[in-house]
């Protein structure tokens, strides 16, 4: 009898929801209420006929490539607001790049606040809301090496460790990385012996040399016991690394021999292809990504990455006439100026 009453209540509730939907003008509220009503019916009738996966697993499954690889980027409010938000510039790269538009379907934007999450949903991307730990506020711009910046980087590391434990390979990319060509042909994306491929601020000419200064703004990781152990060891150093960003901790671990100890196969990415403001690729025909590293503020990154987009458009317009040999990147004057009156060491 109780089960019958619960079923009747569920049907009545669903009817009210349908009336509500037909009278709604707000697009965003409809799927929320539909989902909530289905959960209510499921719990009311004690039904075990359907198992709901958690929100992250569901979103990962939607964004994943056939080999369980996803592209991960993290955004906050500072990246989605302004006359030309950093997120919009990031997406422009996928639109203008060579063989990059289809990659958007495998991009998962991880939002650390409600504003950036809503912006992501508005753009119809794959979105996931990451809750901050310790009541941290990740909304505003986090200046390089500020305490808030360091805390957000560690939260990122913890989240990425969770992805590996779920069995997903990923390419992590900062929002200030322009994807001008599809990077997967340059990455050993289907080579299961390659555990980690990571960008460098400057490339020493040897893709296997641990003397390359790593940059965690762009890297690819394959999920296996070795990489899971690496991320666990990495995150476990958080509390003993006060005032040190996670990138420097990983670099220290590498020089301590942790990569070798875990049996990791690690490749360091050539800046000829995976370029950045620290060391600019001189070959427009080879460059795959451009990272606004060695830059302190979002406004400076936006200004200089806009110049990158203009340079790329010029290259594209001249490539058909084979007149690109004299092209050079515009100087990154805004990023260079962002370090004035700062006591922070560039890196």
Q: State pLDDT tens for residues 289-299.
A: 999 999 989 99
Query: Does residue 46 register a pLDDT over 70?
Result: no
Hey, where are the domains in the chain?
49-294
**Average pLDDT, whole number, for the chain?**
83
Alpha-carbon separation of residue 225 from 14, 167, 301 (angstroms): 46, 10, 36
Predicted confidence band at 342 (pLDDT cuts at 50, 70, 90)? low
Q: Furthest-apart CA pair in the chain: how many Å?
A: 82
- Least confident interval from 17-21, 37-41, 63-67, 197-201: 37-41
Query: Does residue 58 register a pLDDT over 50?
Result: yes
- Least confident interval from 145-154, 173-182, 189-198, 213-222: 145-154
| pLDDT for 305 | 97
pLDDT tens, 71-126? 999 999 999 998 999 999 999 999 999 999 999 999 999 999 999 999 999 999 99
Query: Does residue 14 register a pLDDT over 70?
Result: no
Find out whether 198 and 213 touch, Cβ atoms under 8 Å. Answer: no
Q: Which two structure tokens, joined as six digits, stand for 326? A: 């004299």
Name the residue among 160, 170, 158, 223 with its Cα closest to residue 63: 170
> CA-to-CA distance for 249 and 218, rounded, in angstroms?
16
- Least confident interval from 44-48, 63-67, 100-104: 44-48
> Stretch 19-23: mean pLDDT, rounded?
45
CATH no. for 49-294: 3.90.550.10
- Least confident interval from 69-78, 97-106, 142-151, 304-313: 142-151
> Stretch 277-283: mean pLDDT, rounded?
95
| pLDDT for 50 | 33
Higher pLDDT, 37 or 174: 174
Spatial strand order in the sheet of 177-179? 177-179, 289-291, 274-276
> CA-to-CA distance for 70 and 292, rounded, in angstroms?
22
């Amino acid at each position: 009898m109780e089960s019958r009453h619960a079923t009747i209540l569920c049907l009545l509730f669903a009817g009210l929801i349908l009336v509500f939907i037909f009278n709604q003008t707000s697009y965003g509220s409809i799927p929320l209420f539909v989902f909530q009503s289905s959960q209510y019916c499921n719990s009311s009738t004690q039904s075990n006929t359907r198992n709901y996966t958690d929100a992250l697993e569901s979103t990962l499954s939607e964004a994943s490539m056939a080999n369980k690889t996803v592209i991960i980027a993290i955004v906050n409010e500072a990246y989605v607001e302004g006359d030309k938000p950093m997120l919009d510039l990031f997406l422009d790269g996928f639109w203008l790049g060579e063989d990059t538009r289809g990659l958007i379907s495998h991009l998962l934007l991880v939002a650390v606040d409600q504003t950036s999450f809503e912006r992501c949903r508005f753009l119809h991307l794959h979105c996931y809301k990451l809750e901050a730990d310790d009541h941290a506020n990740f909304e505003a711009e986090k200046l390089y090496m500020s305490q808030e910046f360091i805390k957000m980087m560690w939260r990122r590391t913890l989240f990425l460790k969770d992805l590996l434990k779920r069995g997903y390979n990923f390419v992590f990319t900062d929002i200030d990385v322009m994807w001008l060509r599809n990077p997967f042909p340059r990455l050993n994306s289907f080579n299961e012996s390659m555990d980690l491929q990571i960008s460098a601020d400057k490339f020493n000419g040897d893709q296997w040399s641990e003397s390359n200064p790593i940059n965690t703004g762009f890297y690819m990781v394959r999920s296996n016991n070795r990489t899971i152990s690496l991320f666990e060891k990495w995150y476990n150093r958080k509390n003993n690394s006060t005032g040190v960003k996670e990138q420097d901790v990983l670099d220290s671990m590498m020089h301590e021999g942790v990569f070798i100890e875990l049996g990791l196969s690690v490749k360091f990415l050539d800046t000829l292809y995976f370029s950045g403001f620290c060391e600019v690729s001189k070959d427009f025909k080879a460059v795959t990504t451009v990272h606004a590293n060695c830059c302190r503020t979002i406004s400076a990154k936006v200004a200089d990455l806009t110049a990158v987009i203009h340079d790329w458009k010029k290259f594209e317009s001249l490539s058909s006439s084979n007149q690109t040999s004299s092209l050079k990147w515009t100087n990154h004057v805004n990023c260079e100026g962002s370090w004035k009156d700062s006591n922070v060491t560039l890196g």
